[in-house]
């Protein structure tokens, strides 16, 4: 029985991804996330002031939380409006580049 539960849990998690959102706030726009993401990449990046940096993910995540963002889980193919993909690897990454976003149904209709 435990094996069945573990397998089902793994399958369910495989279809989920982590996103950043501001629950209950109207400021959760792509532009707001992009600005905070860029600021946090600069804060968490090494070498500082460079266009390509290695990211300390703990510092990056703490920075986004300080900006009011929370990590949320959502399905791989169905993403609520106001959910954005953040940095998930240490890099090197371009400071001004956002991770690839999964469009929500509402985003693709506009």
The residue ranges of every structural domain in the chain are 2-109
Structure tokens at 66: 């300080």
Mean pLDDT, residues 61-68 taken together: 96
Cα–Cα distance measured from residue 72 to residue 2, given in angstroms and rounded to the nearest whole number = 27
Measuring CA to CA, how many Å separate 93 from each of 9, 45, 61, 66? 32, 9, 15, 22
| pLDDT confidence bin for 13, thresholds 50/70/90 | very low
- Does 25 score more than 50 pLDDT? yes
Stretch 24-38: mean pLDDT = 86
Compute the mean pLDDT over every residue in the chain, rounded to the nearest whole number.
80
55 or 11, which is more confident = 55
DSSP 14-30: HTEEEEEE-TT-TT--H
pTM, full prediction: 0.75
Residue 105: predicted pLDDT: 57
Residue 102: predicted pLDDT: 79
Q: What is the DSSP letter of 4?
A: H
Of residues 13 and 25, the one with the higher pLDDT is 25
């Amino acid at each position: 029985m435990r094996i069945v539960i573990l397998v089902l849990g793994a399958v369910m998690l495989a279809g989920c991804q982590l996103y950043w959102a501001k629950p209950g706030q109207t400021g959760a726009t792509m532009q707001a996330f992009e600005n905070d993401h860029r600021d946090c990449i600069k804060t968490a990046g090494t070498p500082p002031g460079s266009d390509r940096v290695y990211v300390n993910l703990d510092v990056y995540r703490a920075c986004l939380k300080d900006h009011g963002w929370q990590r949320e889980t959502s399905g791989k193919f169905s993403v609520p409006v106001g959910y954005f993909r953040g940095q998930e690897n240490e890099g090197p990454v371009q400071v001004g580049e956002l991770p690839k976003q999964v469009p929500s149904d509402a985003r693709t209709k506009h």
